[in-house]
Structure 1
Amino acid sequence: MALRFLGKDPNSNGGNSPTLYYDDERDTYVFQSWKVLDPERLAQLSLPEHETVIEFPRRMMRFFPEVADVDPRV
């Protein structure tokens, strides 16, 4: 897997996350972010055992190539 760094939350505490990557082999996005652990919120989802849910701030949408009008494969 060849991950390409796209952006990090400028308001991140300690510069750790959330962070957005693009996987050019799978043509998918990979997020490093806060794991959702709140049982009330998780109960509202249909979440299979092999999946997880993360949360990231809306302000990070600007890093999506479709929003920035760039091709992530370049």
Structure 2
Amino acid sequence: MRLRFLGSTSEAGACPSLYATDRGTIVVQGLELADAEARGDLLHVLDGETAVEVPRELLTEIARRVLTDQLIDHD
């Protein structure tokens, strides 16, 4: 699998960051959610899975960029 950096809201591209894969999925890089109470709210966590906290602004910015890129590619 190959990753393509999509962006970050952190300084100098540090985490959390989002990547697109060549398999059509998204990878999230960030610090593992350590708050025990919040982790207790997670549902159906499988072996090998973890949770990463991502700022809402990062998701909306990347979504805007991806949608804009798709519109440009279709012109």
- Structure 1-normalised TM-score? 0.75
Question: Per residue, is there more strand in 1 or in 2?
Answer: 1
Report if the CA contact (8 A) 2:32-2:51 is conserved.
yes
For residue 37 of structure 2, give the secondary structure of its aligned residue in structure 1. helix
Structure 1 runs (4+) deviating above 6 angstroms are none
Superposition RMSD in Å: 1.9
1:18 matches 2:16? yes
- Structure 2-normalised TM-score? 0.74
* Residue matched to 1:7: 7
Distance 2:26 2:41 in 1: 24
1:43 matches 2:40? yes
Distance 1:3 1:32 in 2: 11
Alignment coverage as a number of residue pairs: 67
Sequence identity, in percent? 36
Segments of 5+ residues of structure 2 without an aligned counterpart are none
> What is the CA distance between 1:60 and its match in structure 2?
0.5
Segments of 5+ residues of structure 1 without an aligned counterpart are none
Structure of higher CA gyration radius? 2
Distance 2:11 2:3 in 1: 23
> What is the CA distance between 1:27 and its match in structure 2?
0.8
